[in-house]
Amino acid sequence: MFDRRHFLSTASGFAAAFAVRGSLFAQLEKVPPLPDRSLLDKNEDAYWAELRKQFLIPENEIYLNNGTVGSSPAPVLGAVFDGYNTTEKMDQQDPEDYPIWGYAAWNEFRDPLADFVGCTRDEIALLRNATEANSYIANGVDLKPGDEVLMTDQEHPGGVHPWNLKARRYGIAIRKVALPLPVKDAAQVLNLFNDAITSRTRIIFFSHITTVTGVVLPAQELSALARSKGILSAIDGAHVTGMMRLNLHDLGCDMYSSSPHKWLMAPKGSGFLYVRDEVIDRLWNTIATEGWDEPRLRAERFQRIGSSNLPALWGLRASLKLANDIGLDRIEKRHRSLADYVLAEMMKRRADSWTSPDAALRCAIVTVNVPPIQRMELEKWMWNTAKVRIRGGEPSKLRLSTPYYLQRKDLDRFLEKFDEYKKAKQIV
């Protein structure tokens, strides 16, 4: 639990030192306690409005870009500072417990994470982000020239480039399934993958939620399909942790990467790699130091990367606690209702939806195509005139992310501004 009193007493000295710049510490001191969960039952809007106060994003700004990075709230930032306060004094009892942070089991951080994502601590390696975990996967599996990896055409650069590198270096082949815009239902995706698998396919790699459209792919069914054909399954789950419920054992995949800095609002640099116990011994280390060749360490051997940023893991633990305190089911429900609202409103405005019409295949990311609007121009205009942050893709795609702490009125402001922009540009 974030120790507010401890944090504030630590922070106050710093606050004086940085007061002139309106320091972070001074801002955090003004953050009220977390709202009681009972408020959610009594007055849902009031509850989320109270939670919004935990975030440093100024009141007049609307952040619709969690798909890129989330904003860490006060309890998470406080825990990071508590982490520094504890580790930087170099007063560890055991002189050999000097901060050689890259050589530890970190079970105090892996345990709550493993509970949260439904696996065992031994199957988790704490890395920096999904890009790093994806690189571990691509680099770590044995493949021969001509062996194929099958993926979608919507993978993030941090997902596809580790395989591009492997293809250039070792002559493996990359094949891609083109996802429809939008994806209609799970069966459509399963058929596409099933039809694309060949006798050379060794691994399927796909985003659980894609960066391009936010579609939630049927990860459990795709993992089962791969297993039934003796193919490895590796999933890029950058967006999933904290956005929606995740149980890796139920999912049944072999490997999974994630970036909890997005939807769990964890600190940047606190990602993870999951490797199913039966697969751990098949994966080579990418970074090697003492322990890389000790199978008894299980997935811990992948997190031995040398000296590391331990306070980020304090923040990760606090972000898990916050999500558990709020309740992930409530968070997921809120994500869905905000996203559904903005999607429906954009459809009323005759936007072309790239978001799945199947509610099971969407969550907190909505994508719409709005030609002839140029998304970059709109992005800048939104930010400069209304302090609304959105993101899109060339030339006319908008990606709207709806973190739980947003209010309806925030989405309405975006929509009003969207209408205003169209009017100003005489777009009908």
Ligand X SMILES: Cc1ncc(COP(=O)(O)O)c(C=O)c1O
Residues in contact with ligand X by CB under 6 A are 68, 129-131, 156, 158-159, 207, 211, 236, 238-239, 259
Give the nearest distance from C-beta 129 to ligand X in angstroms: 3
Report how many helices (DSSP H) and strands (DSSP E) the chain contains, helices first: 16, 13
Give the nearest distance from C-beta 318 to ligand X in angstroms: 19
Instruction: Give the residues across from 149 on adjacent strands.
Output: 174, 203
Query: Residue 110: which H helix or E strand, with range?
Result: helix 107-117
The residue among 211 and 356 lying less far from ligand X, judged by its C-beta, is 211
The residue among 35 and 67 lying less far from ligand X, judged by its C-beta, is 67
The residue among 78 and 159 lying less far from ligand X, judged by its C-beta, is 159
- Integer Cα distance of 187 and 211 in angstroms: 21
The residue among 11 and 265 lying less far from ligand X, judged by its C-beta, is 265
Token pair belonging to 428 = 């009908």
Give the nearest distance from C-beta 236 to ligand X in angstroms: 5
Give the nearest distance from C-beta 157 to ligand X in angstroms: 8
The residue among 51 and 246 lying less far from ligand X, judged by its C-beta, is 246
Q: What are the backbone dihedrals phi and psi of residue 296, each rounded to the nearest 5 degrees, phi first?
A: -65, -20
Amino acid in the structure at residue 135: S
Give the nearest distance from C-beta 212 to ligand X in angstroms: 9
- Integer Cα distance of 254 and 278 in angstroms: 8
Give the nearest distance from C-beta 215 to ligand X in angstroms: 11
Token pair belonging to 94 = 């055991």
Pairing, β 388-389 against β 201-207: unpaired
Q: Which residues of 173-194 are buried (b: 16+ CB within 10 A; e: fewer)?
A: beeebebebbbeebeebbebbe
The residue among 130 and 318 lying less far from ligand X, judged by its C-beta, is 130
The residue among 158 and 311 lying less far from ligand X, judged by its C-beta, is 158
The residue among 33 and 157 lying less far from ligand X, judged by its C-beta, is 157
Amino acid in the structure at residue 60: N
Give the nearest distance from C-beta 10 to ligand X in angstroms: 28
Give the nearest distance from C-beta 334 to ligand X in angstroms: 21
- Integer Cα distance of 336 and 358 in angstroms: 12
Query: Residue 150: which H helix or E strand, with range?
Result: strand 148-152
Cα within 13 Å of Cα(198), Cβ side:
12
The residue among 62 and 130 lying less far from ligand X, judged by its C-beta, is 130
Token pair belonging to 360 = 């099971």
| 388, 356 Cβ separation under 8 angstroms | no
- Integer Cα distance of 256 and 258 in angstroms: 7
Give the nearest distance from C-beta 211 to ligand X in angstroms: 3
Cα within 13 Å of Cα(62), Cβ side:
26
